[in-house]
Each structure stands twice: as structure tokens, then as C-alpha cells.
């Protein structure tokens, strides 16, 4: 057998948004501000829900998990970018890149599945209110969250193992601010057919499937709301899912924007810029979406902040 004369890859280079040194302080301050708002906002949501007995119900249990995942989601990518700007380097180790890619895939999958579970929760609450408490037990809520973790972990693990079998040439430059799965795969020197096939299959089962479930849930919800005779009743029913619907629109809308920008110019910085919307902006806005349009959350936050 012939030995392959191949240089061992030790690091990747994250090209980020701009190579202009004058813009780096501005980018650092902007992303640091957004990261701090994201972490503090989601932590506030978690603490408010845990401290208010009135919010110990399935909808807010899932929201607590979503807020926790959003903190982890942004913490996977932003701190490393901020450190690189401060250190004036673009390097990330091979192990660090694979770890970042795996964690990012895990948490984006969790966001996806949790939003689907929350849609199912709203479906039961609005379409089957008399059986809601009997069906959505604490045990079922925990099982649904565990199922989300298992599915997201399996998806992340499979992609990570397939990436580990790839070989990379030296001086690998990724036109992104973090190690995104698709970008890493298409920087490989070896055949990526199996990786691409798995990406398409995962998109069908883990993105199209949950999205179809969300659309079906809201089709049934809207049908039930239309059947309510009073305008006050319709408004009350719709208000219970308005925040979740806004979060879904933001998450999938920005994700679709990233997909379209990547398809139009896969090697340009436009993908990195578009990715900011669902990797940074969406987790940052979720606490505002769920607190500003929700009377119970506003009451809990006021009680937490002003000890009322």
C-alpha cells in the first residue's frame, strides 16, 4: 500500500465580514452589544418564568428551553469571533472548527424542533381546550423536550462523523464568521457526495417535516379560531399564539434568506451577512417577541424587576 503524502490540517481561517482593519472595532462593538442583549434578555425570560408560579405551565416550560437554547446558540459562534477580532487573527483550530460546527448544528436543530413542539402545544390548547391539561402533562412535556434533544443530537452527530472522514487542503479559508456545516463541507479536497446527500436528506426530515407540522397546526388553529362566534373570543385565542407565530416567521424567514443568498453566491460574504439574521438577530429578538405581546410575561417581568 502507498502512503498518502498529505499535510495534516491544523486550522481553518474564518474570513468574517470585512478585511478592512478600520471596520473591526465597529464590528466588535456591534456584535458584543447584540450578544449581551441576547444573553441578558433570554436569561431574564428564564428567571421570570421560574420565579412566577402562574407561568409554570407547558407553554412557558417550552419557552424556557427555547431561551436556554438561544443563549447556547449564540454562544457557539459570537465569542470566538469577538476573540479573533481582539487578537487580530482569523484562525480557528481544526478541532475547534469541528466542535463549533457540531454545536451550531445541534442548537439550530433544537430551535427548529422546539418551535414545532410549541406549535403542537398551541394546537392542543386552542383546538382541544377541555382535554389540554389531561394530554399535556408534565411528563409528556419533558419527553417532548428530550425527543427534541435526541433528534437534534443524532442529526449533529451524523453530519460531524461524515465531516471527520473528509480531507482538507492547507490554508482553508471559510467565507463566514463561524464554521457553518455547508461551508466546511465544500472546502474539502475529497469527495463530498455522501455529505451532500446527507444534507438533502436531513433538510427533508428535519426541516421540511417540522415545518409541515407547524403549518398543519396553524391551519387547524386558524380553522378553530374562525369557528369562534365572538370577536373577543377570537382575539383572546389568537393572542395566545401570536408571539409564537412571530418567532416562527422570523426563524424560518431568515433561514430561507440565508439559503437563497448561499444559492446565489455560495463563496461570497453575502451568506455570512445574511446568516447574522438567524444566528444573532433572531435569538436577540425572541425575548422581546415573547414579552411585549404577552400579558402574563409582562406581569412576571415587572414583578421580577420591580419586586411587585
Per-residue model confidence as pLDDT tens for the chain (308 residues): 333 334 456 789 998 887 778 888 999 999 999 999 999 999 999 999 999 888 899 999 999 999 999 999 999 999 999 999 999 899 999 999 999 999 999 999 999 999 999 999 999 999 998 999 999 999 999 999 999 999 999 999 999 999 999 988 877 888 889 999 988 998 888 899 999 999 999 988 888 899 999 999 999 999 988 888 788 778 777 777 888 888 898 888 877 777 666 655 555 556 677 788 878 888 999 888 888 777 778 888 887 777 65
pLDDT at residue 246, rounded to an integer: 87
What is the C-alpha to C-alpha distance for residues 16 and 272, in angstroms, rounded to an integer?
A: 7
Helix locations, 76-137, DSSP H? 78-87, 94-127, 132-135
Residue 132 included in any domain: yes
Residue 259 included in any domain: yes
pLDDT at residue 294, rounded to an integer: 77
pLDDT at residue 270, rounded to an integer: 62
Q: What domain count does the chain have?
A: 1
CATH, residue 261: 1.20.1070.10
Residue 1 included in any domain: no
pLDDT at residue 121, rounded to an integer: 95
pLDDT at residue 194, rounded to an integer: 95
Helix axes 94-127, 209-227, angle to 10 degrees: 20
What is the C-alpha to C-alpha distance for residues 283 and 306, in angstroms, rounded to an integer?
A: 25
Q: Measuring CA to CA, how many Å separate 69 from each of 101, 148, 159, 184, 260?
A: 15, 11, 20, 23, 25
Residue 72 included in any domain: yes
Residue 18 included in any domain: yes
Residue 262 included in any domain: yes
DSSP letter at 170 equals: S
Domain residue limits at 33: 11-306
Residue 251 included in any domain: yes
Amino acid at each position: 500500500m502507498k502512503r498518502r503524502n498529505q499535510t495534516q490540517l491544523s486550522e481553518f481561517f474564518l474570513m468574517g465580514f470585512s478585511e478592512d482593519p478600520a471596520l473591526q472595532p465597529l464590528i466588535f462593538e456591534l456584535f458584543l452589544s447584540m450578544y449581551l442583549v441576547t444573553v441578558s434578555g433570554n436569561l431574564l425570560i428564564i428567571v421570570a418564568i421560574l420565579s412566577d408560579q402562574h407561568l409554570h405551565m407547558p407553554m412557558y416550560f417550552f419557552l424556557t428551553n427555547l431561551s436556554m437554547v438561544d443563549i447556547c446558540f449564540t454562544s457557539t459562534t459570537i465569542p470566538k469571533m469577538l476573540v479573533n477580532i481582539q487578537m487580530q487573527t482569523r484562525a480557528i483550530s481544526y478541532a475547534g472548527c469541528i466542535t463549533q460546527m457540531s454545536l451550531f448544528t445541534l442548537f439550530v436543530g433544537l430551535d427548529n424542533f422546539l418551535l414545532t413542539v410549541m406549535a403542537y402545544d398551541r394546537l392542543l390548547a386552542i383546538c382541544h381546550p377541555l382535554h389540554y391539561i389531561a394530554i399535556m402533562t408534565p411528563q409528556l412535556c419533558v419527553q417532548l423536550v428530550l425527543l427534541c434533544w435526541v433528534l437534534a443530537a443524532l442529526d449533529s452527530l451524523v453530519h460531524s462523523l461524515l465531516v471527520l472522514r473528509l480531507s482538507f487542503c492547507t490554508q482553508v479559508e471559510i467565507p463566514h464568521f463561524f464554521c457553518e456545516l455547508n461551508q466546511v463541507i465544500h472546502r474539502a479536497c475529497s469527495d463530498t457526495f455522501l455529505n451532500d446527500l446527507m444534507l438533502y436528506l436531513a433538510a427533508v426530515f428535519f426541516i421540511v417535516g417540522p415545518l409541515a407540522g407547524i403549518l398543519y397546526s396553524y391551519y387547524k388553529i386558524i380553522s378553530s379560531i374562525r369557528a369562534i362566534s365572538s370577536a373577543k373570543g377570537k382575539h383572546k385565542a389568537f393572542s395566545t399564539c401570536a408571539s409564537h407565530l412571530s418567532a416562527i416567521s422570523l426563524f424560518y424567514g431568515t433561514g430561507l434568506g440565508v439559503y437563497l443568498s448561499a444559492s446565489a453566491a455560495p463563496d461570497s460574504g453575502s451568506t455570512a451577512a445574511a446568516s447574522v439574521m438567524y444566528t444573532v438577530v433572531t435569538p436577540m429578538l425572541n425575548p422581546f417577541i415573547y414579552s411585549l405581546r404577552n400579558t402574563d410575561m409582562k406581569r412576571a417581568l415587572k414583578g421580577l424587576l420591580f419586586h411587585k
